[in-house]
Amino acid sequence: MLSTYEAADAIILALDCTRERALEVVAELEGRLAWAKVGMTLYYQEGPSIVAALKERGLKVFLDLKLFDIPFQVGGAAWAAAKSGADLISLHALGGREMISKAVEGVASLEAEDPAKLIAITVLTSMNHETLSSIGITSTMAHEVERLAKLAIASGANGLVCSPEEVGRLRALLGPDALLICPGVRPAGADKGDQKRTATPSEALARGASKLVIGRPIMAAPDPREAFDAIVKEICDAS
């Protein structure tokens, strides 16, 4: 059975809001929360100072900027993101081998003792088969995710973002040490919003997720601390 500490450490809270609200919720979760995620909504308002503010509060930070550009630009962006102090940095596997390799070089050039890890997004959890077809990808979701996962790992990515629907297959393929991060996580009965490929926290972990990204089910709850504790309890009870 997982301890409360282990269950809480598996949760990365997506702070898709203002700085004020992010720091308010972080304060409410002091002593509970270990990981925070800064995405475009927060980073485009605050820049690297929000990463520093979260690190000062003892949190590990996933800087989820989903880098996707020419290799030269992504190399520079990965360097800058790592310099901000982020522990995890996301980029799109769709950017291809050269782009991912440049990001790896960008992070390595800082020669940090504990370098940031580059996490490649396979297919966004808000997409389904229809969305893939609409952009001209005709293979199945499972095939597309697996193809991009292999490409990203072969290009030097340290981990992957995938949905709870594909995490079991990727865990079997990549073994016990692979870092597999799942968004699209919803407690039973919670509103899915724009997420399409979802599972509950305990299901995603049972299928092999290393960490869960959870935003609105906690951030939009009337009492974020109660929502966080309920998710921790669900994970512990099911483990």
Where does this chain bind ligand C5P (CB under 6 A)? 14, 16, 39, 64, 121, 124-126, 161, 183, 193, 195, 213-216
- For residue 216, the minimal CB distance to ligand C5P (Å) is 3
| Interstrand relation of 88-92 and 117-121 (parallel, antiparallel or unpaired) | parallel
Decide: 38 and 54 in contact? Cβ < 8 Å: yes
Using the minimum distance from each CB to ligand C5P, give the nearer residue, 84 or 166.
166
Please give the residue whose beta carbon sits closest to ligand C5P in the complex.
Answer: 215
- For residue 109, the minimal CB distance to ligand C5P (Å) is 26
3 state SS of 32:
coil
Using the minimum distance from each CB to ligand C5P, give the nearer residue, 1 or 51.
51
Identify the active-site residue in 55, 66, 83, 117. 66
Decide: 146 and 128 in contact? Cβ < 8 Å: no
- Among this protein's residues, is 66 annotated catalytic? yes
Q: How far apart are CA 71 and CA 106, in angstroms?
A: 10
| DSSP β-bridge partners for residue 12 | 35, 213
- For residue 193, the minimal CB distance to ligand C5P (Å) is 6
What are residue 162's phi and psi, to 5 degrees?
A: -150, 170
Using the minimum distance from each CB to ligand C5P, give the nearer residue, 95 or 215.
215
DSSP structure class, residue 210: S
User: Which of the residues are catalytic?
Assistant: 66
